[in-house]
């Protein structure tokens, strides 16, 4: 018999497994039968039966998960048994007499979420045990064990003891009640408020599974620019229904609280945090919330920032506001996450300084259940920012990190941007708060200043898109955020490899190629958007595409020219002592480095310094030539990504391969757009030519300046 | 070994097949391995190899589909072979020498989309052949053959020759460019305009597959309340990218055209259809469209209706407007679908009469490539309306049907409403236009008045929701619309059975139970919302919930009291000769029946007649008692659906079982809400008590009247 169509026959190999398209919906939780036959046999011989005692809600979902995973990965049913003859034994010493018999409970991690996975011999048989001091730890252990199998890691001599470095690992959804998502690029909100509380579709459970699998244990459901309606009873009932779905997976729900809610839904005349009626209103409201949601996590608050109401409206400070809410939450163990992303109505000489200026002096003034939530950098989630000077500057206050997973300034969900490298750059940054080694990671994990209350937040990039995040690679940022929240010491490369093997393939060549793409992807974007420390030069309002020419945006610190300050002489924001002196907000070792044009890392050059176009940099090139080089390198990196991706054809499923191929093409076009628009604009000041060998921009500056876009996602039109 | 947890072990049976949740994404195109072992063996022995010659784009997708389906359903790879030894032979006489040899092409259906599936002996072997005169027919034949296998129908003595009754079978998407969907209850728009034309995710192909599988061959991408931007080049490029995905599946794209586009994007001062510049603008614009989309289908137009611009703004009539566009489209074979859903700025004595009044006199005045698109009833997609009097009244004009699949007035996507019975009620209605048997189906299939141009439209209920339509059962309305568009003679029950077996299970008890739920579901809604011919008594604007008391809505014919006219004496709209005389718009045989209070079907009673509360109906009960009875029966029907659904547990997957359980609970609550609110309101006029035996309403009328809802889906907030 002659095969008619080889390509179709090849296609078929996948199709027998998936009788529908490969959509990305399953994320990294893919439990398809293991292809490596030898490994499959080995695993099958190692896992012949499972003993998993305990019937708590968390136990039940862990059981369901391990069953799905093992039966999927091994392609056969592995039975649950009640005896210690099982080859895989799961549980806590409390729930399982077998676990109690085979493990010394002192060997288990002491903290709530930790777990132990251990190979051991018992009754002359080799066994694997997954245990923890409580059910949540067991669930995390189960997910970790599944991950090992998905990544085809040999199950021998296992002795994995893990404990999360940060206690509260939280997603922030900027989801509005009307179903839109502010700065969301993956469809509409997951939360169907209209159908809640009655309807909690399967997708909510899958959301919880995905989060639990990477250790995320909290979610703020509503936008920080919030609507007080979220705190009314009908919406609390809806929130409670979501909490019920998430609870077995160890995920708490939180709400963004509108500071003026006592007026808007409480009928009071003021929201002054020192007003007894206002205090009482929040006490009563909080009590009410806990009646519906006994394990409610607490409030996230954006106050006195970008038009949101706050304590300053009443002459009070952020601590007054936060502490009022903290008092209301304290009896129930709830926390307040008070955002430091603030700037007031007056245009400052340097917006980068504002958060520090307002919060530094409040250190020590917050109640113990308040965290100050600080964005990774001092401006606003730019492709690259130096770490926020508040990290390390508030030793008496628990401070937490706010990363943005959704790519507001990094190409939306059309650009491939692996943010693991960015997260790590910030986490590993040394504040020198207590001398060398005082990394941001140590600050937020409470190690530096000995805080027990620790947290980290990621602004979610999740929406109604079939693949959750819009770009197939954007899932990696959700994954990596969770994993780094668990352990900031993981490397970005290691997590990229993990994610690729769970999401795409265990083919080593493919993993290596895709990893290369991911690891260079954020630097590529920095290069074609904002190299050498440039920042905030995107188009106005919707932030889609370049807009270095934006000079009229309602207020000066919303323009681009405020930040790059390009003129015929040079470019850059002087934040040294001769300028805004923002650099002084850092500890001396850092301030000295950043403030010295000879020492500052080139990547932060124009963030802190104003440089002449013709100044020679350490590379030996002039600033202008270096700028050009970076912009062109950015686009070239996308070329490389495209070339690498071509070689992945056949190594991963055709559906997602084609999607990424299409997206890389868009990214390439937009990278050129950024490069050409920015360089033409800056060239209008530098008056210098492109060095030889660079291709000319396709259009002139006017063309780029005149581009107009309707219906850009992420904002309300 | 003792099994610990039987329930989990049972669960497992499904889980080995699906290592993730059952989301409904696969619709009715589920190709899981056949469970009936005997049948599986029989099928496997019948389909050992496939011969499918031809390499057109449509051939390729048909090949991909049959491979996916057969390999999935049989659980093994069936090879493609190039010889006539194949047991399944597919193709046209033109593309396949084997088909040419074994079939007399005269036996094939002559029309473009028809197909023939035939068992035959060849060279002493039993074979199955799928053939057609062209590739599109082959694709439809392939989908039909797959359906047979999915429904476990024996593949013996097949001789299925099918030809669609209606040529253009079209979805109307009321999707806005900002991603919202007007009256959409299944998430946001599928079309990611921002990422188009570059990004066409897998979901678009799945959308095309689903449509092609039920014979839908056209789609209007944008809302009838449209934005002229859709006709600009950037958006035409985006539309072209979608057209490219859909083309292999035989699906044409259409656009809603804004009548005033020549002003808004053309820079003209007028959109007068008789103005030479305006005509030329449309000619040029149409030429441009066909440059990008060579098989563009044509325009859908909502003109001079609910604020949309149209020819009447310039003193012209609907034919003038439609013909101008028709002239521009004619050279390319495009069509105009001109909506008859019109009412002008003046409040009429009876809005039900307006479409007929405006269009009847235009019969014969339209160009041959214009269709008048008429909603099924004269008001607006109410739970029940008598058929629109325009059907049969424009014999010289091709008229088409507009059904609404999205449940604007039938409980959104929270109520289980199988619309097959409603579609059939309308299609089977007898207009008596040319004597008895002049059904609406005959009118729109062109049989009654010998039109070659025929079409049917369904307002799509599709969105970004994981399961496409929000309610797992809402998919049935998409499915049934397509199947009835193909053949209006199919019965609603037959199509329900088909859909259940493809979507849920082949278990006969389950099919029978679920079918019962579906077949009674629309009548249940009519009963608890608008029994006995009541209509348009929903809440204002968002249409969520009851609002019989709405008496101030901007204009009288937007209120409820305009339609029910309840007072202390009675209720109902007198549309007989003593009233608005709308009944005279029907042909005499119908008019006589509807106009006679003794003959009118009770289901249309209050649509045409004003009845006293205490009048005795043919049932022997008073109107009031009958009204009460129907409202209570509606709720009781939901009780029954819930009871039936409980018995489906274990017969279908747990995920969708739970989702529907939750939705039925919401439906039950909302059914009671409708019943109690409406009856309390009408009781305030009738002053009559609930007959004995009926449970009392939970709240008083004021409670229901004071309910307020924010963020109801389907409208912009």
Six-digit token string for A694: 């660079």
Mean pLDDT value across residues A209-238 = 98
Q: Which residue of B has its CA nearest to A14?
A: B68
Task: Answer yes or no: do A130 and A242 share one domain.
Answer: no
**Residue at B426 is within a domain:** yes
Contacts of A553 (CB under 8 A, 6+ apart): A540, A541, A559
User: Across the interface, do B202 and A655 touch by the CB < 8 Å criterion?
Assistant: yes
Task: Answer yes or no: do A273 and A395 share one domain.
Answer: yes
A346-350, B323-327, B556-560 — which is least confidently predicted?
A: A346-350
For chain A, how many structural domains are there in total? 3
Distance CA A713, CA A470 (A): 12
User: How close is the nearest chain A Cα to the Cα of B659, in Å?
Assistant: 6
* CATH code: domain of residue A190: 3.20.20.80
User: Across the interface, do B199 and A25 touch by the CB < 8 Å criterion?
Assistant: no
**Residue at A109 is within a domain:** yes
Distance CA A30, CA A670 (A): 32
Over the stretch A419-453, which tens digit does the pLDDT of each residue have? 999 999 999 999 999 999 999 999 999 999 999 99
> Cβ distance A473 to A515 under 8 Å?
no
The pLDDT value recorded for residue A717 is 57
Which one from A32, A107, A178, A306 is the annotated catalytic residue?
A306
B-chain CB neighbours of A79 within 8 Å are 1, 3, 9
The pLDDT value recorded for residue A7 is 43
**Residue at B593 is within a domain:** no
Domain that residue B683 falls in: 527-573+610-705
A-chain CB neighbours of B21 within 8 Å are 202-203, 205-206
User: How close is the nearest chain A Cα to the Cα of B266, in Å?
Assistant: 17
Six-digit token string for A1: 């018999």
Percentages (nearest 5) of helix, strand, coil residues in chain B: 40, 10, 45
The pLDDT value recorded for residue A20 is 59
A-chain CB neighbours of B178 within 8 Å are 711, 717
User: Across the interface, do A464 and B15 touch by the CB < 8 Å criterion?
Assistant: no
B-chain CB neighbours of A414 within 8 Å are 195, 198-199
User: How close is the nearest chain A Cα to the Cα of B98, in Å?
Assistant: 14
Query: Which stretch of DSSP H or E encloses residue B584?
Result: none
Distance CA A41, CA B154 (A): 38
Task: Answer yes or no: do A635 and A653 share one domain.
Answer: yes
Q: Is the pTM of this model over 0.95?
A: yes
User: Across the interface, do A76 and B16 touch by the CB < 8 Å criterion?
Assistant: yes
> 3-state DSSP call for residue A488?
coil
Report the residue from A1, A76, A188 with minimal CB separation from B464: A188
Task: Answer yes or no: do B198 and B101 share one domain.
Answer: no
Over the stretch A372-406, which tens digit does the pLDDT of each residue have? 999 999 999 999 999 999 999 999 999 999 999 99
Task: Answer yes or no: do A321 and A379 share one domain.
Answer: yes
Mutate which: B1, B150, B206, B544, vs A, most A CBs within 10 A: B1
Mean pLDDT value across residues A342-356 = 89
Q: Which residue of A has its CA nearest to B74?
A: A16
* Strands lying side by side in the sheet with B50-52: B50-52, B88-91, B125-131, B115-122, B159-162
Mean pLDDT value across residues B552-569 = 96
pLDDT band at A15 (very low <50, low <70, confident <90, very high): very low
Q: Which of A116, A137, A162 is the last residue of a domain?
A: A162
Helix axis angle for B475-486 and B202-213, nearest 10°, is 50
The pLDDT value recorded for residue A348 is 86
Q: Which of B162, B186, B205 is the last residue of a domain?
A: B162
Mutate which: A178, A202, A223, vs B, most B CBs within 10 A: A202
B256, B246, B180: which is closest to B207 by C-alpha?
A: B246
User: Across the interface, do A63 and B8 touch by the CB < 8 Å criterion?
Assistant: yes
Task: Answer yes or no: do A495 and A558 share one domain.
Answer: no
**Residue at A298 is within a domain:** yes
Q: Which residue of A has its CA nearest to B188?
A: A188
User: Across the interface, do B4 and A80 touch by the CB < 8 Å criterion?
Assistant: yes
- A21-30, A532-541, B342-351 — most confident range: A532-541
| Confidence check: pLDDT of B204 > 80 | yes
Over the stretch A679-690, which tens digit does the pLDDT of each residue have? 999 999 999 999
Report the residue from B26, B80, B464 with minimal CB separation from A3: B80
Q: What is the mean pLDDT of chain B?
A: 95
**Residue at A476 is within a domain:** yes
Percent of chain A, pLDDT > 70?
Answer: 97
Q: Which residue of A has its CA nearest to B55?
A: A5
Task: Answer yes or no: do A107 and A205 share one domain.
Answer: no
**Residue at A94 is within a domain:** yes
Task: Answer yes or no: do A241 and A314 share one domain.
Answer: yes
pLDDT band at B20 (very low <50, low <70, confident <90, very high): low
Q: What is the mean pLDDT of chain A?
A: 95
> Cβ distance A98 to A84 under 8 Å?
yes
Task: Answer yes or no: do A285 and A182 share one domain.
Answer: yes
**Residue at B374 is within a domain:** yes
Six-digit token string for B603: 């289901």
Task: Answer yes or no: do B152 and B197 share one domain.
Answer: no
DSSP string, B16-49: TT-SS---STTTT---PPPS-HHHHHHHHHH-S-
Helix axis angle for A475-486 and A492-503, nearest 10°, is 130
Over the stretch B313-327, which tens digit does the pLDDT of each residue have? 999 999 999 999 999
User: Across the interface, do A8 and B63 touch by the CB < 8 Å criterion?
Assistant: yes
Residue A408 is a catalytic residue = yes
Distance CA B67, CA B60 (A): 11
Six-digit token string for A216: 């995320």
| Confidence check: pLDDT of B4 > 60 | no
User: Across the interface, do B83 and A26 touch by the CB < 8 Å criterion?
Assistant: no
The pLDDT value recorded for residue B2 is 40
The C-alpha torsion from A34 through A36 and A38 to A44, rounded to 10°, is 0
**Residue at A633 is within a domain:** yes
* CATH code: domain of residue B619: 3.90.1330.10
| Confidence check: pLDDT of A208 > 80 | yes
Active site residues of B: 306, 380, 408
Q: Which residue of B has its CA nearest to A241?
A: B662
Q: Which of A162, A179, A206 is the last residue of a domain?
A: A162
What number of C-beta contacts closer than 8 Å exist between A and B?
219
Over the stretch A595-611, which tens digit does the pLDDT of each residue have? 999 999 999 999 999 99
Task: Answer yes or no: do B497 and B532 share one domain.
Answer: no
DSSP code at position A188: S
Query: Which stretch of DSSP H or E encloses residue A186?
Result: none
The pLDDT value recorded for residue A13 is 39
Residue with tokens 């060579």, as numbered in its chain: B294
* CATH code: domain of residue B127: 3.30.379.10
A-chain CB neighbours of B11 within 8 Å are 64, 67
The number of angstroms, rounded, from the C-alpha of B222 to the middle of its chain's C-alpha atoms is 16
User: Across the interface, do A202 and B466 touch by the CB < 8 Å criterion?
Assistant: yes
Task: Answer yes or no: do A338 and A281 share one domain.
Answer: yes
User: Across the interface, do B2 and A198 touch by the CB < 8 Å criterion?
Assistant: no
What does the angle CA B331 – CA B336 – CA B341 come to, to the nearest 5 degrees? 170
Report the residue from B30, B76, B659 with minimal CB separation from A202: B659
Q: Which residue of B has its CA nearest to A207?
A: B21
> 3-state DSSP call for residue A199?
coil
The pLDDT value recorded for residue B345 is 78
Distance CA B676, CA B668 (A): 12
Over the stretch A91-146, which tens digit does the pLDDT of each residue have? 999 999 999 999 988 999 988 899 999 999 988 899 999 999 999 999 999 999 99
Q: Please report the sign of the dihedral spanned by the C-alpha atoms of residue B383, residue B385, residue B387, residue B393.
A: negative
């Amino acid at each position: 018999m002659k095969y008619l169509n080889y390509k179709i026959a090849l296609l078929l190999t996948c199709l027998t497994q998936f009788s529908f398209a490969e959509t990305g919906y399953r994320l990294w939780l893919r439990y398809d039968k293991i292809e490596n036959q030898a490994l499959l046999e080995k695993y099958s011989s190692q896992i012949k039966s499972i003993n998993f005692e305990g019937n708590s809600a968390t136990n039940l979902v862990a059981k369901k998960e391990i069953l799905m995973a093992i039966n999927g990965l091994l392609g056969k049913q592995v039975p649950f048994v009640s005896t210690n003859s099982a080859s895989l034994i799961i549980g806590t010493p409390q729930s399982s007499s077998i676990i109690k018999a085979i493990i010394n409970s002192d060997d288990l991690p002491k903290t709530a979420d930790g777990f132990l996975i251990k190979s051991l011999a018992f009754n002359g048989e080799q066994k694997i045990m997954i245990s923890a001091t409580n059910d949540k730890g067991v669930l995390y252990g189960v997910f970790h064990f599944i991950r090992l199998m998905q990544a085809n890691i040999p199950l021998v001599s296992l002795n994995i003891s893990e404990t999360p470095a940060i206690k509260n690992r939280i997603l922030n959804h900027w989801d509005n009640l009307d179903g839109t998502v502010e700065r969301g690029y993956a469809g509409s909100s997951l939360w169907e408020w209209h159908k809640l509380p009655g309807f909690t579709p399967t997708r909510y459970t899958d959301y919880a599974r995905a989060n639990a699998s990477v250790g995320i244990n909290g979610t703020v459901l509503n936008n920080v620019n919030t609507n007080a309606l979220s705190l009314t009873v009908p919406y609390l009932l809806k929130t409670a229904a979501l909490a019920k779905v998430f609870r077995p997976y160890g995920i708490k729900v939180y709400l963004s609280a509108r500071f003026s809610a006592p007026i808007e839904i409480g009928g009071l005349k003021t929201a002054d945090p020192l007003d007894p009626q206002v205090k009482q209103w929040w006490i009563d409201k909080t009590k009410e919330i806990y009646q519906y949601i006994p394990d409610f996590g607490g409030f996230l608050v954006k106050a006195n920032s970008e038009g949101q109401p706050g304590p300053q409206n009443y002459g009070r400070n952020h601590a007054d506001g936060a502490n009022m809410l903290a008092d209301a939450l304290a009896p129930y163990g709830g926390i307040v996450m008070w955002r430091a992303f603030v700037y007031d109505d007056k245009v400052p000489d340097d917006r980068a300084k504002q958060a520090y200026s307002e919060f530094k002096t409040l250190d020590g003034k917050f109640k113990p259940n308040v965290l100050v939530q600080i964005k990774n950098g001092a401006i606003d989630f730019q492709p690259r920012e130096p770490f926020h000077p508040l990290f390390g500057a508030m030793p008496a206050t628990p401070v937490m990190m706010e990363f943005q997973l959704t790519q507001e300034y990094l190409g939306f969900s059309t650009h491939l941007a692996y943010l693991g490298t960015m997260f790590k750059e910030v986490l590993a940054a040394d504040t020198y708060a207590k001398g060398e080694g005082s990394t941001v990671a140590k600050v937020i994990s409470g190690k530096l200043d000995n805080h027990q209350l620790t947290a980290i937040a990621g602004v979610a990039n999740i929406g109604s898109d079939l693949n959750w995040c819009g770009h197939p690679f954007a899932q990696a940022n959700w994954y990596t955020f969770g994993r780094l929240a668990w352990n900031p010491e993981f490397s970005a490369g290691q997590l990229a490899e993990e994610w690729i093997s769970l999401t795409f393939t265990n083919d080593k060549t493919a993993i290596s190629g895709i990893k290369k793409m991911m690891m260079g992807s954020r630097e590529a974007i920095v290069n074609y958007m904002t190299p050498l420390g440039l920042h905030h030069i995107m188009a106005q309002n919707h932030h889609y595409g370049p807009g270095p020419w934006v000079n009229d945006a309602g207020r000066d610190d919303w323009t681009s020219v405020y930040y790059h300050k390009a003129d015929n002489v040079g470019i850059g924001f002087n934040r040294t002592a001769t300028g805004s002196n923002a650099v002084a907000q850092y500890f001396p070792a850092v301030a000295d480095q950043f403030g010295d044009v000879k020492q500052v890392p080139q990547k932060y050059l124009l963030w802190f310094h104003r440089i002449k176009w013709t100044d020679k940099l350490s590379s030996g090139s002039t600033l202008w030539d270096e700028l050009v080089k970076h912009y062109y390198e950015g686009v070239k990196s996308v070329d490389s990504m495209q070339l690498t991706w071509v070689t992945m054809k056949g190594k991963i499923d055709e559906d997602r391969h084609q999607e990424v191929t299409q997206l890389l093409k868009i990214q390439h076009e937009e990278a050129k757009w950024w490069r050409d628009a920015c360089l033409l604009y800056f060239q209008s000041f530098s008056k210098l030519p492109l060095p030889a060998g660079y291709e000319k921009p396709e259009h002139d500056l006017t063309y780029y300046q005149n581009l107009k876009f309707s219906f850009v996602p992420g904002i309300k039109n």
